[in-house]
Amino acid sequence: MKYLYAPWRDDYVRGKEKGGCVFCDISAHPEKDEEHTVLYRDEVCFAVMNKYPYTPGHFMIIPHMHTDSLEALPPQDWSHITLLAQKGVAALKEAFGAGGVNIGMNLGEAAGAGIAEHIHLHLLPRWHRDSNFITVIGDARVYSVDFAEIYERVKAAFLAKL
C-alpha cells in the first residue's frame, strides 16, 4: 500500500484548531486577509478559500453575521451572497477552467457541517473525470498545483467578475 502525505490537514484531523468561531475570527481581522486566504470582503460577507478543500479551488462565501440558521439571515444578505455565488461560479468556470461547480450548504451538524455554528456556502470546482480510483477507493485526492498558487488564481478570477 502507498501513502500520500498531507501535513496541512494535521491540525484539522487532530482537532487542534483554536477555540471560538474560525469564521468570526476571519471576519474580525481584515488585516490578515492574505494569511487567511480571503478572496473578497464587503460589509455583508467575505469569500475565503477552504483551508481543507475537497477540490482545488474550493472556496466559501460566509456572512459576517454569526448565525447557525439560514432562516435568521436577513433576506437582503442572503440575496447578496447568492449574487456573489453567481460571480464565483462564473469565475471558476471561465478563468479556472472548471467543467462544472458544486454549490451548497450543510446546515447543522446533523447535515454534515464541519463548522455548524456559522453558516457558509461552498463552491467546489469540478472537472470531467476528476473522480478516479484514488478518490473513490483510496478516499484521497491528489493536487497537482500548490495551494498558494490556486489561491492567487481563484482570487484574480473572482475579483475580475465583481
Q: Is the Cβ–Cβ distance between 44 and 81 less than 8 Å?
A: yes
Q: Which of 58, 118, 120, 122 is catalytic?
A: 120
Torsion of CA 142, 107, 51, 31, to 10 degrees: 160
Beta strands 45-49; 59-63: pairing state: antiparallel
Cα–Cα distance for residue pair 78/98, rounded to 1 Å: 25
First-residue to last-residue Cα distance in the chain: 46
The pLDDT, as a whole number, for residue 6 is: 56
Helix (H, G, I), strand (E, B) or coil at 157: helix
The pLDDT, as a whole number, for residue 19 is: 72
Is 120 a residue of the active site? yes
Mean pLDDT by runs of 10 across the 162 residues of the chain is: 53 61 97 97 98 90 98 98 98 92 96 95 88 54 75 93 90
The pLDDT, as a whole number, for residue 137 is: 46
Domain boundaries, the chain: 21-161
Q: Is the Cβ–Cβ distance between 39 and 61 less than 8 Å?
A: no
CATH topology of domain 21-161: HIT family, subunit A (3.30.428)
The pLDDT, as a whole number, for residue 139 is: 62
pTM: 0.82
